[in-house]
Amino acid sequence: MKHSHDNNAFLQSPLRHSYPPMSTDSNFSASAQADSSHPAPATPAAADTPPHNTADNQAHTSRPGPGHKPPPEGVYLRTIKSYVLRAGRMGTGQIKAFELYGPRFQVPFTPHRHFDPVAAFGRSAPLVLEIGFGMGDATAKIAHARPGDDFLCCEVHEPGVGALLKRCGEENIGNIRILRHDAVEVLEQMLPAAQADGSGALLDGVHIFFPDPWHKTKHNKRRLIQPALVAKLAARLKPGGYIHCATDWEPYAQQMLEVLSAEPLLQNTSTDLALAGYAPKPDYRPLTKFENRGLKLGHGVWDLVFARR
């Protein structure tokens, strides 16, 4: 497999590129809960606990079966989550950032109410959804590098949200808004799917950089990049919009390539046969903390860029 750093020639932001037609979560609970968005903190060891195999224990990738009744509004069934909420300690700067910059840069999770980008950003611009920004270093750099685009950034890790809020405030990064919530629920409840003719979608791009690899086979079901989620993402992209994923875990890269390639609404933008379906690293994506760590461990890094037909 070709390493994505072998080729740095891909320069443009995909939004200006015209593509061809293209934690400690122990949320394996079987019971319905009033709010699954704030799973109870648990120890990292608990994350290795195998899921109980019950009918209600559905991954976010599963679909309701016959006879399924949706829960009343505001009540969510607990599902297998792609993250583990760790009781990370917030620094004083991060705590202060919530107070100082939260009102400007955070947007609330509004179940069943669609996100209004013009109201949130005060302008109409291409909109990119980022899932899982970690401490937000790459996010801040990308937002600086692409001032004409707006970034709606989801993260559940509170210190990470604090860190990015701090940067947004101190560096006056006006094209970022932060949603501290499970991106899967944000997608389902706040972002409309496109109509059959492609109209009505809000997203021009999706960034998912170094999502938790969930190495163990028994935890693979927690991975974000699965067919149902990719179908939901694709349905929320405008025609020509893109999904950009990156990982340093080869088996996950292979899963990403397989899942993204199988989604009928998407088309691979990588045409370089030598890269075997992977994309050269787009210039707008800087090295992230996780990537640096992976590179030091001798891992490869794989970028994948698919476009909505």
Which positions lie near ligand SAM, rule CB under 6 A?
Answer: 23, 82-83, 131-134, 138, 154-157, 160, 182-184, 209-212, 224, 288-290
Q: How far apart are CA 131 and CA 152, in angstroms?
A: 9
Nearer Cβ to ligand SAM, position 154 or 203?
154
Nearer to ligand SAM, 245 or 260 (CB): 245
Catalytic (active site) residue 303: no
Q: How far is the CB of 277 from ligand SAM (least distance, A)?
A: 21
Q: 285 — phi, psi (to 5°)?
A: -90, 110
Backbone angles phi, psi at 33, to 5 degrees: -125, 155
Structure tokens, 201: 């979608």
Question: For residues 164-180, b (16+ Cβ closer than 10 Å) or e, as one string?
Answer: bbbbbbeeebebbbbbb
Beta bridge partners of 177: 152
- Measured distance CA(22)–CA(307) in Å, rounded: 4
Q: Residue 151: beta bridge partners?
A: 128, 176
Give the active site residue among 149, 212, 248, 303.
212
**Residue number, 15 or 184, with CB nearest to ligand SAM:** 184
Cβ 51 vs Cβ 28: under 8 Å: yes
* Position closest to ligand SAM via CB: 132
Q: Which is nearer to ligand SAM, 36 or 82 (CB)?
A: 82
Write down the least CB distance from residue 294 to ligand SAM, Å.
9
Q: Minimal distance in Å, beta carbon 157 to ligand SAM?
A: 4
Question: 275 φ, ψ to 5°?
Answer: -90, -5
Residue 125 C-beta: closest distance to ligand SAM, Å = 22
Positions annotated as catalytic residues are 212
